[in-house]
Structures are given as C-alpha cells and as structure tokens.
Amino acid sequence: MLRFLTAGESHGRCMVAVLEGMPAGLKIDLKALNIELKRRQLGYGRGDRMKIEVDNAEILSGVKNGLTLGSPLGLYVKNVDFRIDDLIPLTKPRPGHADLVGCLKYGHEDIRCVLERASARETVVRVAVGAVCKQFLNEFGIVVASEVLMICGEKNKSKMIKKIEQAKKNLDTCGGLFSVTAAGVPPGLGSYVAADRRLSARLAGGLMSIPAIKAIEFGLGTGYAIEFGSSVHDAIYYSKEKGYFRKTNHAGGIEGGMSNGEPIVVRCTMKPIATLGKPLDSVDILTKKPEKAAVERYDTCAVQAAGVVAESVVSYELAAAFLEKFGGDSLNEVKRNYKGYMRTLQ
C-alpha cells in the first residue's frame, strides 16, 4: 500500500514528508525531482515568498546509490524564511481562509497557529512526493501534465495576464481553471465494487485537498447536464492493432470508477487567494470588535502553480491504484505483473 504523511509549518524550520510503499529498485532522479519543485514556484502573479525560497529536496532515507530500497522515503525541504517564533500574533481572521474556524476548533488565540500549517507552503513536499510517483509511473509510459485554461473568466493568455495585472494594481487576487491529463494509463485501475476504491473518488478527494480548490470535473463534467445520453457516451470500437478504443473521451478516461484506457482528464477550479491587499471586513477574535482582516504576504495568482501541485496529487493517486492492481515489492516484480495483465488484454 502506498501512503504518505507531511509535516512542517510555513515559517518553520522545514517541510518534510514520508512516503511508504514505493517498490525497491526505482531509480530516483533527484535533479528531475527538484525541477518539479521549481515548476511549483513559477507562474505569472506569484508573490515575494517565491523570490526568497530556494526549494531543493533532500532524500533522507529509503535510497541507496540512487535506487529505492522498499523502505520509507524521507523527503526534506528547508525553509529559508524560518522565523515562526518571531512573527507577531494575528487576531483578525481572513474571510475565505482557515483562520477563524481553525482557531475555534483548536482553541487558539493567535491565527498564526492555524495559518502556518494551513498555508499552501505544505504543498512543496506534496510535489516532492508526487515527483517520485511520476518517476514510478514513467516506468510504465504514464505521463501526467497540467495546463491553465482560464484566469478570472479569460481564456486568452494575454488577457489572462492583463487580469492578473489589474488584480495586482487593485491589491486583489485572481482564481481560475486548469486541467490535468494523465496519458498512458491502462484500463482497470480503481474498482466499482466499493465506494472508496473508485478511482474518480480518490482523485477527486486528493485534488480537493489542495488549498483553494473548490470544484472538480472529469471529462465533459458539467456539460453532461445539458446533453442527451446518445451524444455524450463514448462509443466502443475494436481493432487488432489498438484493441478496444474510443473515438471520443467525454468520460475523461474513467467509467464506473475505473480507468478505461483513454487519457484521464480532470479540470479543477481554484478560488482567488484569500489574502487581499485591501482586506475585507472581519472581527478581532480577542476584542470581538469590527476590524479589517489581517494582511499577509500573498500571491496575486497561483493557478499555474496549483496545476503543478495537482499533477503531483494525480500522480500519487495513480501510483497508489497502480500498485494495488499490480502489486510487488520490487519494480521488476511490478513490471512482470503489469506485462502479464497487458498480455491478457490483447
């Protein structure tokens, strides 16, 4: 079973993750892993934190001579901006953030006790985990990529940039829409036999765990609501060269909670970042008096970066489902099982 756990605060000493269940014998390309971390820092509209941090992961355990051992992988990313104990307390929660509810839940009187962990900084080690999973999937010809589709209602790239510039000038923020596509996924990952084994449910759950993601849709998504069934379901064909195939992919590569062999296509809607340069109305949690919300360092737009995080989430969920399907404690064992299954499909 593949599983991971992350730890760390936004301005703490570091961000760490433990990834358990990766088979032995996978060659880890640390340079490629760190390229993924750099991609997470990119995108028009990112804030000053990206100019400070130099995100490079170290592998603390689970690897010998560049190959996984089958034991847990320890991943470490140092925070350059490490001053959690010196930051002033905050008592004016930001609408749209975890601030207020987090304080109510855990009994904190300083919002920093919430925002330090609720921060999207946590995703840096999720990207590290996802990068390892990407390298595993690449062994089987599976490629995961993302694309920004819309920013603040604009689909044209130059107009997207203008929206971000407008938001920055107005001390505002922008959300948007991006897609993640996984090509080369074999049919049969996930299952229809139990709700928690459905691949669509697992992907949706993982993607919704990314901060600021508010909606998920597979394939045609909400487009199903306006069409007849005869125009949206993907007809099935067969040839000796291709095997079973479809000419359309409205289902987004998933039917009955399982991958069907077509590319998995999912779109995610990201809300605008909750910290605003011109803060909204709030209430001081100590005095209970009306105040403007706190203002922290923030991104004007992070949709492109969220797409990179989503790639990692999809890669992890696919790797987990892949290992459940094909099993094995070593990469060679997984490959034997995979090849045997693929022969049966022919």
Averaged over 176-189, what is the pLDDT? 98
pLDDT at 102 (0 to 100): 98
Averaged over 131-146, what is the pLDDT? 98
Long-range contacts of 104-113 (CB under 8 A, 24+ apart): 109/285, 109/286, 111/285, 111/294, 112/84, 112/87
pLDDT at 328 (0 to 100): 93
Report the distance separating Cα 343 and Cα 346, nearest Å: 5
Q: Would residue 258 count as lying in a domain?
A: yes
pLDDT at 308 (0 to 100): 98
Number of domains in the chain: 1
- Say if residues 284 and 92 touch (Cβ distance below 8 Å): yes
Q: Would residue 283 count as lying in a domain?
A: yes
Tell me the pLDDT band of 156, cut-offs 50, 70 and 90: very high
Tell me the pLDDT band of 195, cut-offs 50, 70 and 90: very high
pLDDT at 53 (0 to 100): 78
For residue 52, pLDDT over 80 is answered with no
pTM confidence score: 0.96
210-265: per-residue pLDDT in tens?
A: 999 999 999 999 999 999 999 999 999 999 888 899 999 999 999 999 999 999 99
Q: Would residue 72 count as lying in a domain?
A: no
55-75: per-residue pLDDT in tens?
A: 999 999 999 999 999 999 999
For residue 51, pLDDT over 80 is answered with no
Q: Would residue 9 count as lying in a domain?
A: no
Residue 94 lies in domain: 86-345
Q: Would residue 38 count as lying in a domain?
A: no
The CATH number of whichever domain residue 93 belongs to comes to 3.60.150.10
9-31: per-residue pLDDT in tens?
A: 999 999 999 999 999 999 999 99
Percent of the chain with pLDDT over 90: 93
For residue 161, pLDDT over 80 is answered with yes
Report the distance separating Cα 5 and Cα 126, nearest Å: 9
The SS3 call for residue 284 is coil
Residue 129: CB atoms within 10 Å: 27
Of 270, 298, 274, the residue nearest 152 (C-alpha): 270
For residue 76, pLDDT over 80 is answered with yes
Mean model confidence pLDDT for the chain? 96
Averaged over 102-128, what is the pLDDT? 96
For residue 87, pLDDT over 80 is answered with yes
Q: Would residue 68 count as lying in a domain?
A: no
DSSP element (H, E) containing 214 = strand 213-218
Q: Would residue 234 count as lying in a domain?
A: yes
pLDDT at 149 (0 to 100): 98
For residue 50, pLDDT over 70 is answered with no
Of 70, 59, 66, the residue nearest 17 (C-alpha): 59
269-315: per-residue pLDDT in tens?
A: 999 999 999 999 999 999 999 999 999 888 999 999 999 999 999 99
* Maximal CA-CA distance, the chain: 73
CA dihedral for 326, 182, 311, 194, sign (positive or negative): negative
Q: Would residue 170 count as lying in a domain?
A: yes
